[in-house]
Every structure is written in C-alpha cells, then in structure tokens.
Amino acid sequence: MNKLYATAVAVLLAVSVTGALAAQPSKKPHAAAQSTKASGPAGYGALRLGMSRTDVEALQASDGIYLTDALTVAAPNEKFPLRDGEEAFDAHVMTPVGTDATGAHLTFTNGKLTSLTIDLDSFQSQEVSKQLAGKYGTGTADDDMQEEECRYGNGTNFKISYGIQSIVWRQRVSSTREIATTLSNLRIEMCPASLRSPKIGPIERRWVNLKIVDPQDEAKKNLF
C-alpha cells in the first residue's frame, strides 16, 4: 500500500481538506484585457469560492445549490491541520445533480470560502465529470488503481483492486493563485487474512473538491 493510497484512506475516514489563502488578484492600471477560455470552474453553481459564510448560508433552493442544515464545526484532523485564519465546517447540501442532500466540507480563510468538498454517488460523479469535461476539457488524469492477487494454501486465489483515481482542472486566477478542481474516486479492498475471515471491501467513495491553491506550494508538497 503506497503513501498516496494510505493518505486517501485517511481522507475517507476523516475528511478535512484544508484551503489555501484566498486569492488576491493585483490591480494593474491600463493592463490589456485578455480573453482566454476558462480552464476550470470557480465554484459549484451558485456556491463559489471567495463567498463569505453569510453568503453561503443565504443560498436558497432557487439558487440550485444550498445548505440543508446548519454549518457545524468539523472535527480536528491531525493529517490536515488548519492554518492560521482557517475555519472548517461540515454540512449537507442539495445540488442540481441528485435528489437527496449530500455531505459537504467547507473551509473558510479569513472569512472567505477557499475550499469546498462535496460527496458524490456514482451517478453524480459521472454527471459532474461529463459537465466539467464538456466545458473545460479533459483535465489531467491520475490513475493510482492497483490490482493484487489473494492466494491461499488450498489453492484458492482471487484478485482485488484498490487505489484512487482523480482528474484535476486548474484555473489561474492571479500570478500566485489558482483554483484546483479535483474529481476523485477512492476504492478500498483488502485480502482477508484467511478464507474464514470477512472480506474487507470493496468500499468506494467519490467526491469533488474545489480549492484555492498556490501552485508553488503544491509543487513542493507533491512527492509523487
């Protein structure tokens, strides 16, 4: 089990995606206007990065996406400690893709939304992937799925698969900030210790995360 998969398992058990500092685009007088096609979203419908907590809580059904319960302070996560100025909350949101409210994790930095994670089922994940690819292109795919054969003394053997697949879309918002949108699919499955032991998995979790990041910080943290 490699480090990326182990980290993803920790995310499944206690999701606490930390946001980066809010984007602060510099104002340059007389700068030439550039009309470039967006390479990624700035939010999930009306729920957009940069919004205040008050604005997020004010979203209604007519906006297409809205909170169905109050924001609750997220439990601390040692693997993803909050930075100065950050506050993390859990909630449930109703989205245009699906008929039931789904789990969400929101991080605010200095009062502004800088990271948003929304849980997805299989259908929602396919729809989100289709919409993102249709508007912003295929993105950058990373497939860390692995296959392992479970072998036992009586000759029984079977294969399992585990790992994480993700697609990332990046949208530059300033010289030092970009919005990274990551659509992920995590699969957990392990060989039982014996044929009498219960099988572990497969367990699957899917989610989409949007967050404001510093590309240089991301490059330093990326060990893969």
For residues 30 and 27, give the distance between their C-alpha atoms in angstroms, rounded to a whole number.
Answer: 9
User: Per the domain annotation, does 117 fall within a domain?
Assistant: yes
User: Per the domain annotation, does 13 fall within a domain?
Assistant: no
What residue numbers bound the domain in which 203 lies?
A: 3-8+41-221
The predicted pLDDT at position 145 comes to 96
User: Per the domain annotation, does 33 fall within a domain?
Assistant: no
Bridge partner residues of 67 (DSSP): 93
Token pair belonging to 50 = 């940069």
User: Per the domain annotation, does 141 fall within a domain?
Assistant: yes
What is the domain count for the chain? 1
45 neighbors 63 (Cβ within 8 angstroms)? yes
| Averaged confidence pLDDT in the chain | 84
User: Per the domain annotation, does 32 fall within a domain?
Assistant: no
User: Per the domain annotation, does 46 fall within a domain?
Assistant: yes
Q: Which alpha helices (H) appear in 62-169, and where do they start and end?
A: 122-136
- At 66-83, the pLDDT tens digits run 999 999 999 998 888 999
CA distances from 224 to 3, 139, 142, 221 (A): 9, 18, 11, 9
Among 67-76, 101-110, 193-202, the range scoring the smallest mean pLDDT is 193-202
User: Per the domain annotation, does 15 fall within a domain?
Assistant: no
pLDDT beyond 70 at 107: yes
The predicted pLDDT at position 219 comes to 54
User: Per the domain annotation, does 155 fall within a domain?
Assistant: yes
